[in-house]
Amino acid sequence: AQKVTQAQTEISVVEKEDVTLDCVYETRDTTYYLFWYKQPPSGELVFLIRRNSFDEQNEISGRYSWNFQKSTSSFNFTITASQVVDSAVYFCALSETTGNQFYFGTGTSLTVIP
């Protein structure tokens, strides 16, 4: 079973629209980390955010915001007033207490149309 599910394979929005990328995870651990990465066309994965399982506060960084809800095992990512430079593949990932590896979702490809 997938530990991290990103159900949206591709999303297209028009510039300045808001867009939310969904991430649902599965774990039995009480301590874990959740991450979001951005992969622009150049290919390098860029770290965006890490969230500790004990911290359910929402996070805002400029036009980016993250909504972490343990009750629904979700860690959704919203881009406000999207720009063409936001076009990329976005990955959600989980790191558990057991083991020493990440579990990545299959990614959501976001295209922002000018």
Binding of other proteins by 45 (CB under 8 A): yes
Residue 56 touching other proteins (CB under 8 A):
no
68 is a contact residue toward other proteins (CB under 8 A)? no
Residue 32 or 79: the one with the smaller Cβ distance to other proteins is: 32
- How many Å apart are CA 73 and CA 25, to the nearest integer? 6
Give yes or no for residue 106 binding other proteins (CB under 8 A). Answer: yes
99 binds other proteins, rule: CB under 8 A: yes
Return d(Cα 78, Cα 86) in angstroms, integer.
11
Q: How far is the CB of 46 from other proteins (least distance, A)?
A: 8
Q: Which two tokens stand for residue 87?
A: 């076009």
Residues 11-40: x/- map of binding to other proteins (CB under 8 A)? Answer: ------------------x-xxx-x-x---
CA distances from 29 to 33, 42, 46, 94, 104 (A): 10, 35, 26, 11, 17
Q: Which residues bind other proteins (CB under 8 A)?
A: 29, 31-33, 35, 37, 42-47, 50, 91, 95-102, 104-107
